[in-house]
């Protein structure tokens, strides 16, 4: 599968997993540099799950450790499991161990979703929404409706059922039209999730999906070349109005795509 561009969507297939991760890391560096030419700070939303761990570890090592202006980056999460931040399932813990504890980032640059034990799932979602609205409210003019700064970089993964973040097929946040953050119980997983909604994700300037492994090949094909609606294939709802979406795939995850 060769690289493709279609409107604001790019599909990049550099080869194996390590090459996909390295090329995405390189593009994150250039994207951050471009963003910080025009802004004081750059917001990055981290994906959870296991796939991005290699990317986060790579970014914490040279040459990326010296290339990124860490003191001008602010870190958020695209979704979180409703667990304590020291729980092995925590997306915050994974990113902290793989990246944030290994680079010069202070606590006030980390904006984690409140964890279990701090508040209820609904309170965590409300609190995170307030955090985001405060952060993205322009300094020079209080936010009227729709007058918010936009997320700069959002990293996302993809599940075999075409979920992304914690936007699972047939769940309420898929049709949410105003809230940026949503808490919901995922019956098949037996746990609560807090997730950004498509309403907020589609405000992003740069969305990067990182998907690797043969297990994801059918989900990738459904999202990129299928015609399912967003209820069945939530990742198809990620269509930023004024931003770009770039899919970094390894050869295995792209193996069902037609040229």
Instruction: Give contact residues for ligand 6PG (rule: CB under 6 A).
Output: 47-51, 79, 91, 157-159, 163-166
Beta carbon of residue 161, minimum distance to ligand 6PG (angstroms, whole number)? 9
DSSP secondary structure code for residue 238 in this structure: -
Which residue's C-beta sits nearest to ligand 6PG? 157
Q: What are the residues whose beta carbons fall under 8 Å from the beta carbon of 213, sequence distance 6 or more?
A: 17, 51, 250, 252, 253
- Please say which residue, 51 or 197, places its beta carbon nearer to ligand 6PG: 51
Q: Starting from the edge strand earliest in sequence, which strands make up the sheet with 73-77, in order?
A: 4-6, 9-15, 244-250, 206-211, 153-156, 42-46, 73-77
Lookup: tokens for 109 = 């640059």
- Please say which residue, 22 or 186, places its beta carbon nearer to ligand 6PG: 186
The H or E element that residue 220 is part of is helix 217-225
Beta carbon of residue 169, minimum distance to ligand 6PG (angstroms, whole number)? 12
Beta carbon of residue 152, minimum distance to ligand 6PG (angstroms, whole number)? 19
- Please say which residue, 40 or 188, places its beta carbon nearer to ligand 6PG: 188
- Please say which residue, 163 or 184, places its beta carbon nearer to ligand 6PG: 163
**In terms of Cα–Cα distance, which of 253, 162, 158, 248 is closest to 214?**
253
Beta carbon of residue 167, minimum distance to ligand 6PG (angstroms, whole number)? 8
Dist CA 157 CA 123 (whole Å): 25
- Please say which residue, 79 or 203, places its beta carbon nearer to ligand 6PG: 79
Beta carbon of residue 168, minimum distance to ligand 6PG (angstroms, whole number)? 9
């Amino acid at each position: 599968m060769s690289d493709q561009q279609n409107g604001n969507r790019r599909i990049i297939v550099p080869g194996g997993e390590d090459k996909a991760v390295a090329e995405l890391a390189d593009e994150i560096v250039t994207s951050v540099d471009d963003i910080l030419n025009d802004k004081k700070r750059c917001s990055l939303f981290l994906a959870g799950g296991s796939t991005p761990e290699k990317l986060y570890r790579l970014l914490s090592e040279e040459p990326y450790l010296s290339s990124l202006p860490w003191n001008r980056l602010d870190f958020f999460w695209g979704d979180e499991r409703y667990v304590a931040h020291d729980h092995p399932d925590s997306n915050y813990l994974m990113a902290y161990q793989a990246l944030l504890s290994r680079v010069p980032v202070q606590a006030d640059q980390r904006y984690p979703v409140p964890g279990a034990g701090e508040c209820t799932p609904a309170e965590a979602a409300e609190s995170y929404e307030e955090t985001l609205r405060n952060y993205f409210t322009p300094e020079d003019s209080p936010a009227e409706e729709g007058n918010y700064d936009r997320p700069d970089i959002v990293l996302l993964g993809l599940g075999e059922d075409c979920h992304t973040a914690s936007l699972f097929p047939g769940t309420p946040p898929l049709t949410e039209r105003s809230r940026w953050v949503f808490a919901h119980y995922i019956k098949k997983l037996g746990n609560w999730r807090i997730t950004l909604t498509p309403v907020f994700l589609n405000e992003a300037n740069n969305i990067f999906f990182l998907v690797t492994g043969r297990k994801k090949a059918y989900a990738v094909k459904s999202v990129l070349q299928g015609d399912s609606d967003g209820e069945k294939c939530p990742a198809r709802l990620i269509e930023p109005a004024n931003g770009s979406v770039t899919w970094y795939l390894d050869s295995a995850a792209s193996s069902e795509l037609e040229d």
